[in-house]
């Protein structure tokens, strides 16, 4: 869970833990109570763990549960589940349907999720890792997102090389021109990708190397998804600039951002394309995980949309 979510969620769960602990004290006689106080930290951790397990017992295919269903799935006694549910309901983490008596996640969790999303500011999260990628590869590291069929540069870390890409934050180009945009297109939901290819979005040629045929572009995007990265040379600018780009995934499994390095063909050959690809993919995974993604480790494993129908310096 994101760091920004932790304080608020921890506060709610600590309050829950305190209430559950108060219930437990009622069961103890005077002789046991002293021992229980000594073990309160251990008990508190167990109650907190049970509370978290209870929340995670609700899934998309099981959004509502009865008390006994929760008890069976978690292996908790019904009395324990009842006490935990009572406290969670008071904190709006769980709610109960008045008619069916079934339990479901409450609005308090939606509030906490919104707080977490506000804290997941992509530029703030990505910038330190982009700087590390720049230091390891020696090349520009760029962050893009897709807006209205165009890839927009939202962050950039400059290389110290004399010959480097002059791209600036805020610059935007057609998504089909270059690796950064093609990664964003390749991981669109199938219906959105079909709409993009059918509409054509102009598919204008920025250079002789720009792919302007929807069918050829579709084939290129399938390859991008299969290998988990995109490579381009001279598709956006005439000087033959090379780019390697990998998808950045969020907690919902989408790839709204791409991480890219740009460099000259000579430096690409000297440093080794495969090592550079490995570095870009590795740092894209690091950023994805900070955004809450659990599918970032294998970008090529995602379903493919069917369109139209080396140097030592590279070690971190």
Query: Comparing 251 with 42, which gets the higher pLDDT?
Result: 251
Tell me what percent of the residues of the chain surpass a pLDDT of 90.
Answer: 47
Tell me what percent of the residues of the chain surpass a pLDDT of 70.
Answer: 77
Asked if pLDDT for residue 194 goes beyond 50, the answer is: yes
Distance, in Å, from the CA atom of 249 to the CA atom of 186, rounded to the nearest integer, reads 13
List the structure tokens of 297.
Answer: 């480790």
When the pLDDT of each residue in the chain is averaged and rounded to a whole number, the result is 81
Asked if pLDDT for residue 77 goes beyond 50, the answer is: yes
* Per-residue confidence (pLDDT) for residue 300, from 0 to 100: 52
* Per-residue confidence (pLDDT) for residue 40, from 0 to 100: 57
* Per-residue confidence (pLDDT) for residue 118, from 0 to 100: 61
- When mean pLDDT is compared over 108-112, 114-118, 223-227, the highest value belongs to 223-227
Q: DSSP characters for the chain?
A: --TTTHHHHHHHHHHHHHHHHHHHHHT--HHHHHHHHHTHHHHHHHHHHHHHHHHHT-BTTB--B-HHHHHHHHT--HHHHHHHHHHHHHTTSEEE-TTT--EEE-HHHHHHHHHHHHH--HHHHHHHHHHHHHHHH-SEEEEEEEETTEEEEEEEE--S-SS-----TT-EEETTSSHHHHHHHHTS-HHHHHHHHHHGGG---SSTTS---HHHHHHHHHHHHHHT-EEEESSSSTT--EEEEEEE--TTS---EEEEEEE-HHHHHHH-HHHHHHHHHHHHHHHHHHTT-SSGGGGGGSPPP------GGG--
Distance, in Å, from the CA atom of 164 to the CA atom of 197, rounded to the nearest integer, reads 31
Distance, in Å, from the CA atom of 186 to the CA atom of 247, rounded to the nearest integer, reads 9
106: alpha, beta or left? (left if phi > 0; alpha if psi -120 to 50) = beta
* Per-residue confidence (pLDDT) for residue 254, from 0 to 100: 92
CB 271 within 8 A of CB 242: no
Task: State the pTM of this model.
Answer: 0.62
Give domain limits for the chain: 6-117, 121-314
Q: pLDDT, tens digit, for every residue of 254-296? A: 999 999 999 999 999 999 999 999 999 999 999 999 988 876 5
Task: Give 310's pLDDT tier (boundaries 50, 70, 90).
Answer: very low
Q: For residue 30, give Cα distances in angstroms to 17, 41, 119, 152, 180.
A: 21, 19, 46, 67, 68
- CATH number assigned to the domain with residue range 6-117, chosen from the 4 options 2.60.40.10, 1.10.10.10, 1.10.3720.10, 1.10.3210.10: 1.10.10.10
- CATH number assigned to the domain with residue range 121-314, chosen from the 4 options 3.30.450.40, 2.130.10.30, 3.40.50.620, 3.40.80.10: 3.30.450.40
Q: pLDDT, tens digit, for every residue of 136-174? A: 999 999 999 998 888 999 999 998 887 777 788 888 888
């Amino acid at each position: 869970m994101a760091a920004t979510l932790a304080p608020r969620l921890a506060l709610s769960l600590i309050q829950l833990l305190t209430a559950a602990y108060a219930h437990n004290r009622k069961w103890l006689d005077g002789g046991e109570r002293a021992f229980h106080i000594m073990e309160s930290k251990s008990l508190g951790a167990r109650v907190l763990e049970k509370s978290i397990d209870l929340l995670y017992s609700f899934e998309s295919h099981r959004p509502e549960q009865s008390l006994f269903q929760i008890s069976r799935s978690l292996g908790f006694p019904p009395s324990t589940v009842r006490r935990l549910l009572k406290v969670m309901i008071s904190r709006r983490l769980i709610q109960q349907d008045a008619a069916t008596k079934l339990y479901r996640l409450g609005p308090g969790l939606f509030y906490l999720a919104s707080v977490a999303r506000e804290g997941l500011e992509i530029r703030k999260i990505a910038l330190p890792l982009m700087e590390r990628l720049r230091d390891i590869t020696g090349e520009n590291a760029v962050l893009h997102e897709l807006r209205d069929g165009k890839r927009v540069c939202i962050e950039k870390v400059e290389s110290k090389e004399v010959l480097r890409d002059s791209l600036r934050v805020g610059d935007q180009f057609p998504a089909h021109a270059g690796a950064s945009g093609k990664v964003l297109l390749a991981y669109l939901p199938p219906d959105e990708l079909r709409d993009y290819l059918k509409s054509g979005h102009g598919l204008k040629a920025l250079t002789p190397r720009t792919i302007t045929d929807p069918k050829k572009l579709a084939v290129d995007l399938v390859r991008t998804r299969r290998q988990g990265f995109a490579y381009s040379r001279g598709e956006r600018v005439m000087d033959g600039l090379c780019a390697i780009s990998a998808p950045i995934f969020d907690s919902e499994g989408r790839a709204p951002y791409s991480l890219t390095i740009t460099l000259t063909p000579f430096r690409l050959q000297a440093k080794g394309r495969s090592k550079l690809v490995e570095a870009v993919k590795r740092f894209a995974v690091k950023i994805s995980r900070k955004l809450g993604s659990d599918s970032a480790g294998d970008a090529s494993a995602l379903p493919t949309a069917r369109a139209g129908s080396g140097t030592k310096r590279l070690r971190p």
